[in-house]
Structure 1
Amino acid sequence: MADEITDIDELPSTPRDLADTHPDVWAAYTDLGRATADAGPIDGEEKRLVKLALAVAAESEGAVHSHVRRALDEGISPEALRQVAILAIPTIGFPAAMAALSWIDDLAE
Protein backbone atom coordinates (compact mmCIF):
# COMPACT_ATOMS: atom_id res chain seq x y z
CA MET A 1 0.00 0.00 0.00
CA ALA A 2 1.40 3.40 -0.95
CA ASP A 3 0.20 5.11 2.25
CA GLU A 4 1.84 2.65 4.58
CA ILE A 5 5.07 3.57 6.28
CA THR A 6 6.92 0.30 6.61
CA ASP A 7 10.13 1.66 8.13
CA ILE A 8 9.38 2.94 11.63
CA ASP A 9 12.70 4.82 11.59
CA GLU A 10 11.26 7.13 8.91
CA LEU A 11 8.51 8.35 11.27
CA PRO A 12 8.64 11.64 13.15
CA SER A 13 9.68 11.17 16.78
CA THR A 14 6.23 11.05 18.43
CA PRO A 15 4.66 8.33 16.27
CA ARG A 16 8.01 6.49 16.20
CA ASP A 17 8.03 6.46 20.01
CA LEU A 18 4.44 5.17 20.03
CA ALA A 19 5.34 2.43 17.52
CA ASP A 20 8.34 1.41 19.63
CA THR A 21 6.49 1.51 22.95
CA HIS A 22 3.16 0.08 21.78
CA PRO A 23 3.78 -2.06 18.69
CA ASP A 24 0.33 -3.64 18.96
CA VAL A 25 -1.33 -0.22 18.76
CA TRP A 26 0.88 0.75 15.82
CA ALA A 27 0.06 -2.52 14.04
CA ALA A 28 -3.67 -1.94 14.51
CA TYR A 29 -3.31 1.62 13.26
CA THR A 30 -1.44 0.57 10.12
CA ASP A 31 -3.98 -2.23 9.52
CA LEU A 32 -6.78 0.35 9.72
CA GLY A 33 -4.92 2.61 7.28
CA ARG A 34 -4.49 -0.28 4.85
CA ALA A 35 -8.17 -1.28 5.13
CA THR A 36 -9.45 2.25 4.56
CA ALA A 37 -7.09 2.79 1.61
CA ASP A 38 -8.36 -0.41 -0.01
CA ALA A 39 -12.05 0.31 0.65
CA GLY A 40 -12.84 1.80 -2.74
CA PRO A 41 -11.73 2.63 -6.25
CA ILE A 42 -9.80 5.87 -5.53
CA ASP A 43 -6.07 5.36 -5.85
CA GLY A 44 -2.79 7.02 -6.71
CA GLU A 45 -2.63 10.78 -7.01
CA GLU A 46 -6.36 11.19 -6.37
CA LYS A 47 -6.13 9.36 -3.06
CA ARG A 48 -3.10 11.38 -1.95
CA LEU A 49 -4.82 14.68 -2.80
CA VAL A 50 -7.99 13.63 -0.95
CA LYS A 51 -5.93 12.70 2.11
CA LEU A 52 -4.11 16.03 1.91
CA ALA A 53 -7.45 17.84 1.67
CA LEU A 54 -8.70 16.04 4.77
CA ALA A 55 -5.54 17.03 6.66
CA VAL A 56 -5.99 20.63 5.49
CA ALA A 57 -9.65 20.66 6.63
CA ALA A 58 -8.67 19.18 9.99
CA GLU A 59 -6.08 21.96 10.32
CA SER A 60 -3.45 19.36 11.20
CA GLU A 61 0.02 20.69 10.41
CA GLY A 62 1.65 17.32 11.07
CA ALA A 63 -0.74 15.47 8.78
CA VAL A 64 -0.36 18.11 6.05
CA HIS A 65 3.43 17.77 6.26
CA SER A 66 3.15 13.97 6.13
CA HIS A 67 0.91 13.95 3.06
CA VAL A 68 2.96 16.63 1.29
CA ARG A 69 6.15 14.65 1.92
CA ARG A 70 4.55 11.48 0.55
CA ALA A 71 2.99 13.31 -2.40
CA LEU A 72 6.31 14.80 -3.43
CA ASP A 73 7.92 11.35 -3.13
CA GLU A 74 5.16 10.02 -5.39
CA GLY A 75 5.88 12.69 -8.03
CA ILE A 76 2.85 14.91 -7.41
CA SER A 77 3.60 18.51 -8.38
CA PRO A 78 3.87 21.25 -5.76
CA GLU A 79 1.31 23.21 -7.80
CA ALA A 80 -1.29 20.45 -7.34
CA LEU A 81 -0.60 20.40 -3.61
CA ARG A 82 -0.97 24.16 -3.35
CA GLN A 83 -4.25 23.99 -5.26
CA VAL A 84 -5.67 21.79 -2.48
CA ALA A 85 -5.19 24.66 0.00
CA ILE A 86 -6.62 27.19 -2.44
CA LEU A 87 -9.69 25.00 -3.06
CA ALA A 88 -10.22 24.90 0.71
CA ILE A 89 -10.70 28.68 1.03
CA PRO A 90 -14.51 28.76 0.66
CA THR A 91 -14.98 25.68 2.87
CA ILE A 92 -12.61 26.20 5.80
CA GLY A 93 -12.01 29.94 5.49
CA PHE A 94 -9.19 32.11 4.27
CA PRO A 95 -7.02 32.09 7.42
CA ALA A 96 -7.11 28.30 7.83
CA ALA A 97 -6.45 27.75 4.13
CA MET A 98 -3.50 30.17 4.24
CA ALA A 99 -2.09 28.30 7.24
CA ALA A 100 -2.37 25.07 5.26
CA LEU A 101 -0.72 26.72 2.25
CA SER A 102 2.19 27.74 4.47
CA TRP A 103 2.49 24.14 5.77
CA ILE A 104 2.50 22.85 2.19
CA ASP A 105 5.17 25.40 1.26
CA ASP A 106 7.30 24.28 4.23
CA LEU A 107 8.14 21.23 2.11
CA ALA A 108 7.13 22.10 -1.45
CA GLU A 109 9.46 25.08 -1.95
Structure 2
Amino acid sequence: MESMTEVREELRQPALNLRGLIPDVLKGYAELSKAAMAEGELSAATKELLALVIAVTRECDGCIVSHVRGAVRQGVTRQQVAEALGVAIMMNGGPGTVWGPRALNAFDEALADRTAKA
Protein backbone atom coordinates (compact mmCIF):
# COMPACT_ATOMS: atom_id res chain seq x y z
CA MET A 1 0.00 0.00 0.00
CA GLU A 2 1.24 3.46 -0.80
CA SER A 3 1.45 5.99 1.99
CA MET A 4 -1.81 7.14 3.49
CA THR A 5 -1.43 10.51 1.78
CA GLU A 6 -0.83 8.88 -1.61
CA VAL A 7 -3.90 6.67 -1.24
CA ARG A 8 -6.07 9.66 -0.30
CA GLU A 9 -4.76 11.68 -3.24
CA GLU A 10 -5.20 8.78 -5.66
CA LEU A 11 -8.84 8.33 -4.65
CA ARG A 12 -9.80 12.00 -4.26
CA GLN A 13 -10.60 12.92 -7.88
CA PRO A 14 -12.31 9.64 -8.83
CA ALA A 15 -14.49 9.97 -5.72
CA LEU A 16 -15.40 13.54 -6.66
CA ASN A 17 -16.20 12.42 -10.20
CA LEU A 18 -18.49 9.67 -8.94
CA ARG A 19 -20.14 12.02 -6.44
CA GLY A 20 -20.94 14.34 -9.34
CA LEU A 21 -22.72 11.52 -11.16
CA ILE A 22 -24.62 9.95 -8.26
CA PRO A 23 -24.80 12.58 -5.51
CA ASP A 24 -27.90 11.17 -3.82
CA VAL A 25 -26.36 7.72 -3.44
CA LEU A 26 -23.18 9.09 -1.91
CA LYS A 27 -25.12 11.48 0.30
CA GLY A 28 -27.13 8.52 1.56
CA TYR A 29 -23.92 6.57 2.17
CA ALA A 30 -22.47 9.50 4.13
CA GLU A 31 -25.60 9.64 6.29
CA LEU A 32 -25.45 5.87 6.86
CA SER A 33 -21.79 6.11 7.84
CA LYS A 34 -22.45 8.96 10.24
CA ALA A 35 -25.29 7.06 11.92
CA ALA A 36 -23.37 3.78 12.10
CA MET A 37 -20.25 5.39 13.59
CA ALA A 38 -22.07 7.56 16.16
CA GLU A 39 -21.57 7.02 19.89
CA GLY A 40 -23.97 4.48 21.33
CA GLU A 41 -23.61 1.39 23.48
CA LEU A 42 -20.41 0.93 21.49
CA SER A 43 -18.05 3.88 21.57
CA ALA A 44 -17.12 5.60 18.33
CA ALA A 45 -13.53 4.47 18.98
CA THR A 46 -14.63 0.83 19.17
CA LYS A 47 -16.61 1.25 15.97
CA GLU A 48 -13.55 2.66 14.20
CA LEU A 49 -11.53 -0.36 15.34
CA LEU A 50 -14.26 -2.70 14.08
CA ALA A 51 -14.31 -0.90 10.74
CA LEU A 52 -10.51 -1.08 10.55
CA VAL A 53 -10.56 -4.84 11.16
CA ILE A 54 -13.12 -5.26 8.39
CA ALA A 55 -11.08 -3.01 6.08
CA VAL A 56 -8.00 -5.19 6.66
CA THR A 57 -9.91 -8.43 6.02
CA ARG A 58 -11.38 -6.89 2.84
CA GLU A 59 -7.91 -5.63 1.79
CA CYS A 60 -9.32 -2.15 1.13
CA ASP A 61 -6.56 0.46 1.31
CA GLY A 62 -8.94 3.41 1.02
CA CYS A 63 -11.03 1.97 3.86
CA ILE A 64 -7.92 1.45 5.98
CA VAL A 65 -6.93 5.09 5.46
CA SER A 66 -10.41 6.30 6.35
CA HIS A 67 -10.68 4.27 9.53
CA VAL A 68 -7.17 4.84 10.85
CA ARG A 69 -7.87 8.56 10.52
CA GLY A 70 -11.16 8.04 12.36
CA ALA A 71 -9.38 6.00 15.02
CA VAL A 72 -6.85 8.78 15.56
CA ARG A 73 -9.68 11.33 15.85
CA GLN A 74 -11.30 9.11 18.49
CA GLY A 75 -8.09 8.89 20.53
CA VAL A 76 -7.40 5.22 19.84
CA THR A 77 -3.92 4.11 20.89
CA ARG A 78 -1.35 2.28 18.82
CA GLN A 79 -1.67 -0.72 21.16
CA GLN A 80 -5.45 -0.80 20.66
CA VAL A 81 -4.92 -0.77 16.90
CA ALA A 82 -2.35 -3.58 17.19
CA GLU A 83 -4.72 -5.73 19.26
CA ALA A 84 -7.57 -5.13 16.81
CA LEU A 85 -5.23 -6.08 13.97
CA GLY A 86 -4.53 -9.31 15.84
CA VAL A 87 -8.23 -10.11 15.49
CA ALA A 88 -8.05 -9.30 11.77
CA ILE A 89 -5.11 -11.69 11.40
CA MET A 90 -6.97 -14.40 13.30
CA MET A 91 -10.06 -13.95 11.11
CA ASN A 92 -8.21 -13.54 7.81
CA GLY A 93 -5.12 -15.72 8.12
CA GLY A 94 -2.16 -14.98 5.85
CA PRO A 95 -3.57 -11.90 4.12
CA GLY A 96 -4.12 -10.36 7.55
CA THR A 97 -0.38 -10.63 8.19
CA VAL A 98 0.19 -8.47 5.09
CA TRP A 99 -2.64 -5.95 5.45
CA GLY A 100 -2.39 -5.67 9.24
CA PRO A 101 1.11 -4.14 9.17
CA ARG A 102 0.00 -1.85 6.34
CA ALA A 103 -2.85 -0.64 8.53
CA LEU A 104 -0.48 -0.08 11.46
CA ASN A 105 1.80 2.00 9.22
CA ALA A 106 -1.22 4.02 8.08
CA PHE A 107 -2.23 4.57 11.72
CA ASP A 108 1.28 5.76 12.57
CA GLU A 109 1.15 8.18 9.63
CA ALA A 110 -2.29 9.49 10.64
CA LEU A 111 -1.18 9.94 14.24
CA ALA A 112 1.96 11.78 13.15
CA ASP A 113 -0.13 14.05 10.89
CA ARG A 114 -2.50 14.87 13.74
CA THR A 115 0.37 15.47 16.16
CA ALA A 116 2.09 17.77 13.66
CA LYS A 117 -1.13 19.81 13.29
CA ALA A 118 -1.66 20.10 17.07
TM-score for the superposition, normalised by structure 1: 0.70
Residues 62, 35 of structure 1: CA spacing in aligned structure 2 closer, same or farther, 3 A cutoff? Answer: same
Match in the other structure for 1:43: 43
Greater RCO (CA < 8 Å, at least 6 residues apart): 2
CA distance 1:49–1:17, change in 2 (3 Å) = same
1:7-35 CA deviation, whole Å, 9 max, x = no partner? xxxx8333232223321121121222234
State yes or no: 1:17 paired with 2:13.
no
Residue 93 of structure 1 and its aligned partner are, at CA, apart by 0.6
RMSD across aligned positions (CA): 2.5
Q: Which amino acid aligns with 1:26?
A: L
Q: Is the 8 A contact 1:64 1:103 kept in 2?
A: yes
Residues 71-107 of structure 1 show CA distances to partners (whole Å, capped at 9, x for unaligned) of: 1122211222122222222221133333232233134
Q: Give the corresponding residue for 2:8.
A: none
Structure 2 length-normalised TM: 0.66
Relative distance call for 1:35 and 1:71 in structure 2 (3 A) is closer
Whichever structure has more helix as a proportion of its residues is 2
Where does the alignment leave 5 or more consecutive residues of structure 1 unmatched?
1-10
User: Which shows bigger deviation, 13-22 or 69-78?
Assistant: 13-22
Q: C-alpha separation between the residues in 2 aligned to 1:79 and 1:97? A: 16
Percent of pairs identical after alignment?
A: 28
Alignment of 1:86-97 (within 5 A): 86-97=86-97
Deviates more, 1:54-63 or 1:98-107: 98-107
Moved over 3 A (4+): 34-38
